[in-house]
Structure 1
Amino acid sequence: MKKKFMFLVMLLTFGVLLAACNSDDGGDETEATGGDGEVEGEITVWAHPYTGDAEAEAKMWEEIIANYNEEFPDVTVNYETIPWANRDQKILTALAANNGPDVFYAIPDQMPQYADEGMLLELDPYLEDYDMDDFVDTALVSTTWQDKMYGLPILQEAYTFFYNVDVIEAIGEDPGNLPTTWEEFEDWAEKAKEQDKFALSYAGGGSMNGTIYPWIWQAGGDIITQEDEILINSPESVEAFEFINNMYEKGYIPEDSITAMEHDALWNGGEMLAVLGSGISLTNLLANEDFNFVIAPPLAKEEQVTYGTTGMFVVPSNSDNPDAAAEFVKVVTNADNQRNFNTVTQYIPTRESAKDIFDDQEYLSQLASYTQYALPGVIHPIGRTIMPLIQAEVQTMMEGKKSPQEAADAAATSIEAELAK
């Protein structure tokens, strides 16, 4: 709790400092011009290593920057790779000191925290005549806070079920006719149990994005809205609590699912019907030529939806060159540069037209088609901090100490307490 409190204090402090810096720089003079002014000068771009091939990434960034300079030759772009470790601290410290980047890479749980504190430049004025129709709608969810856009997305993931074909055949089902609903999946889960197989990997000690959140969304529920409406204990959301509890009580998921971080050994050993996975799962499976698998569309109850993170580029509100920075965000996320970026990184482009890079790759093409169903998580400033609180209540439920409704109500109370801070 102390660590979380200090982080929030730091955010608030930096927000005040940024406001002061903007005021010192002349107030309205730092506001977005929407690209009407002359774009020149210098910008600094921060991003992370996305692969283990530094040489390929360096070449990729050289080409992206060259594409930008074709359109804006009077802007010098300084690119820096920063490590993933302690990225929040590095970015916040740099921005507070007014010597941070003009463009940086952000993920869904960072954006609303920064935007809510006034630390990000609103991009809407720069997008008035910009074609946004090519972007996948779900990719834009993570870039928007309080109806204002603070970033443009460059990559997505889509988590869905990977099935072991051998287990499917062992339970007497057809790998060409996979479950599409909760009811159908439960039927397969029961048959898997009868064959002494687990139905699903459930890493209860991991991120809520990969455990109960997708089930909540599929049931038509939610966790918390951008208007601070708490929905985790709504009737729809409670259905997800009940579903997970039922799977655990019936032994459809492993006994250690309450705190497990992974079930790789069970899955790799052929003891499990399905896992929820994405691109990295595909890479691992393709490396094992003896593992026969199929990929299914996301399940549905009331809605067909799943989880998939989104990566975006944003501009800090105290950038010394907001026009050049905003234009860089637009260029780096255009279709051609997304093709380049995602060919190297093997993530899924957020532009439909750029997904053609996977046309000759059956499985990646299939995963790319599912980003239309992929929500990026809880888009709220407290989205990250409430995760362990909700997780604790789900775990308590699975231990048999609370009913699904009691666990959901307790989670709602915890979220309400966080909002009150």
Structure 2
Amino acid sequence: MRATLAGITASALTLYAMTSTAFATDLRMTVWTGSEVHLKMLNGIAEGFKAKHPDVNVKFETVPVNDYTQKLTFQVAGGNPPDIAWMMEDAAPAFENANLLMDLGPTLKATEGYDFADFSQPAMGLWQKGDTVYGIPFSTSPFMIYYNKDMFDKAGLDDPLALAAKGDWNMDRFQEVAKKLTAANPGKWGFEFKDGEGYASRMTHALLPPIRAYGGDIWSNHECGFDKPEAVKAVKQLHDMVFKDKSIVPPGEQGDYFSGNSAMTVNQISRASKMAEAGFKWGIAPLPSGPGGESPVIGQAGLVVFAQGKNKDIAAEFIAHMTSKENVAIMAQFFPPARKSVLESDAFINGNKLIPPEMMKNVAAAIANGRVHPAHEKSPQILAAMAPRVDALWKANADVDAAIKGICSAIQPLL
């Protein structure tokens, strides 16, 4: 009898395990970070969700940033979208207008204690139309200057943070110190474009900050801005820095600020995770101002659920969990928040172990005063049309005026 009972019990346990496994839900979430620190943080947030939903497993899939939007588009077109995805600000309008994204509004607003109104309205501009919520920004991150203080000290120069504090950090001073840094550090450069991709996947990220500093924009109100006088001056200054001063890493070369080969670069605070292993003293500072004044540029990324996904409802619940006040505060060390309560807290200013409070104050100010990188529903086509025209610009003997006109001729019909 005991043997029979034992057999029945074992069979029942086996059946329970099989049933539990059969009903487990695996959520796929694509991200463009491969940072161990970032993934550890994300997995910790997923474990908190699993405590309430034991049958749900969240799997984070890293897709390289340079191919991210293209590969995400292929997955969606192939009928195999992830359940949840990070989405770049410039891609959001195309996915929204194609009705590919789930309305998260009902789930978020029904979540106890969520406080949807805590999200800054400007930060929600790309992700909400009326009552429809296509995504929630998890990162509203301004572009900042990262600098190698050791290289500045070797050149006997004030670093960008010190120059900004004196009101002397502008585009002219930026060009001057980049040239001096290059001269003082043979074989290295004064400046490198964002992620070393300023001539390719990050071309708008390279051109936008100086153009904004001069008072222009790359496009606005469906009109190309590259050929406006402010933008032309900014682009010509960059061209001089690349080919006359030879202070910016040129096309075909890799500077790699993070390895100590460039004195300055532009990036966001998520990249601070890479600085723990840097072999030099470093800091972050605001972007240089210009004739247009201080013009912080904000890069934004949101969390979305695909309308054709297999696990939409539970995926939306995970986004509600991930963007709660508690978890936004955890992510804020790398991804500046759109929640006003977190952004305005002392915990945000003092909570980053890698970035001192005086530098984080500049981050908070840039979020408060900055404008998001321009987006458009045809961003992929616009960038594809731009690419050969931008290539023509980055040549030593380029006719810069003609190249800039060529950019506008290529993209205006798409705008």
TM-score, scaled to structure 2? 0.70
1:174 aligns with 2:166: no
1:162 aligns with 2:146: yes
Secondary structure of the residue aligned to 1:275 is strand
Most deviating of 406-415 and 94-103 = 94-103
Most deviating of 326-335 and 235-244 = 326-335
- What does 1:297-312 align with in structure 2 at a 5 Å threshold? 297-301=286-290, 302-312=292-302
Q: Identify the residue that residue 99 of structure 2 maps to in structure 1.
A: 118
Q: 1:321 to 1:298 in 2, by over 3 A?
A: same
Q: 1:149 to 1:364 in 2, by over 3 A?
A: farther
Q: Identify the residue that residue 47 of structure 1 maps to in structure 2.
A: 29
Equivalent residue letter for 1:251: D
Gaps of at least 5 residues in structure 2 are: 1-23
CA drift at 1:111: 1.6
One of 334, 339, 364 as aligned partner of 2:324: 334
- What does 1:215-364 align with in structure 2 at a 5 Å threshold? 215-225=210-220, 227-254=221-248, 257-260=250-253, 262-264=254-256, 268-269=260-261, 272-279=262-269, 281-289=271-279, 291-301=280-290, 302-318=292-308, 328-341=318-331, 346-354=334-342, 356=347, 359-360=350-351, 361=353, 363=355
Q: Identify the residue that residue 379 of structure 1 maps to in structure 2.
A: 375
For 1:362 and 1:56, locate their aligned partners in 2 and report how far apart those are by CA, in whole Å: 15
Is 1:45–1:104's contact at 8 Å kept on the other side of the alignment? no
CA drift at 1:411: 0.4
Q: Tell me how large the CA RMSD over aligned residues is.
A: 4.1
For 1:249 and 1:354, locate their aligned partners in 2 and report how far apart those are by CA, in whole Å: 44
Q: May I ask how many residue pairs the two structures share in their alignment?
A: 365
Cα-to-partner distance string for 1:51-75 (whole Å, 9 max, x where unaligned): 43767644420213556x6xxx9xx
CA drift at 1:324: 6.5
1:214 aligns with 2:209: yes
Task: Compare relative contact order (CA 8 Å, sep 6+) and give the higher one, 1 or 2.
Answer: 1
Gaps of at least 5 residues in structure 1 are: 1-41
Is 1:189–1:252's contact at 8 Å kept on the other side of the alignment? no
Secondary structure of the residue aligned to 2:89 is coil
Q: Which has the larger radius of gyration?
A: 2
For 2:147 and 2:80, locate their aligned partners in 1 and report how far apart those are by CA, in whole Å: 49
For 1:145 and 1:404, locate their aligned partners in 2 and report how far apart those are by CA, in whole Å: 39
For 1:168 and 1:90, locate their aligned partners in 2 and report how far apart those are by CA, in whole Å: 40
Secondary structure of the residue aligned to 1:295 is strand
For 1:385 and 1:215, locate their aligned partners in 2 and report how far apart those are by CA, in whole Å: 24
CA drift at 1:151: 0.9
Q: Identify the residue that residue 186 of structure 1 maps to in structure 2.
A: 175
For 1:379 and 1:97, locate their aligned partners in 2 and report how far apart those are by CA, in whole Å: 25
CA drift at 1:327: 5.5
Q: 1:241 to 1:137 in 2, by over 3 A?
A: farther
CA drift at 1:410: 0.5
Q: Identify the residue that residue 191 of structure 2 maps to in structure 1.
A: 200
Q: 1:294 to 1:116 in 2, by over 3 A?
A: same
Q: Identify the residue that residue 9 of structure 1 maps to in structure 2.
A: none
Q: Identify the residue that residue 18 of structure 2 maps to in structure 1.
A: none
CA drift at 1:335: 1.4
Secondary structure of the residue aligned to 2:99 is coil
CA drift at 1:399: 1.7
Most deviating of 132-141 and 235-244 = 132-141
Most deviating of 51-60 and 242-251 = 51-60
Secondary structure of the residue aligned to 2:216 is coil
Secondary structure of the residue aligned to 1:313 is strand
For 2:305 and 2:258, locate their aligned partners in 1 and report how far apart those are by CA, in whole Å: 44
1:60 aligns with 2:56: no
Identity fraction in percent: 20
Q: 1:96 to 1:372 in 2, by over 3 A?
A: same
Q: Identify the residue that residue 32 of structure 1 maps to in structure 2.
A: none
CA drift at 1:152: 0.7
TM-score, scaled to structure 1? 0.69
CA drift at 1:283: 3.8
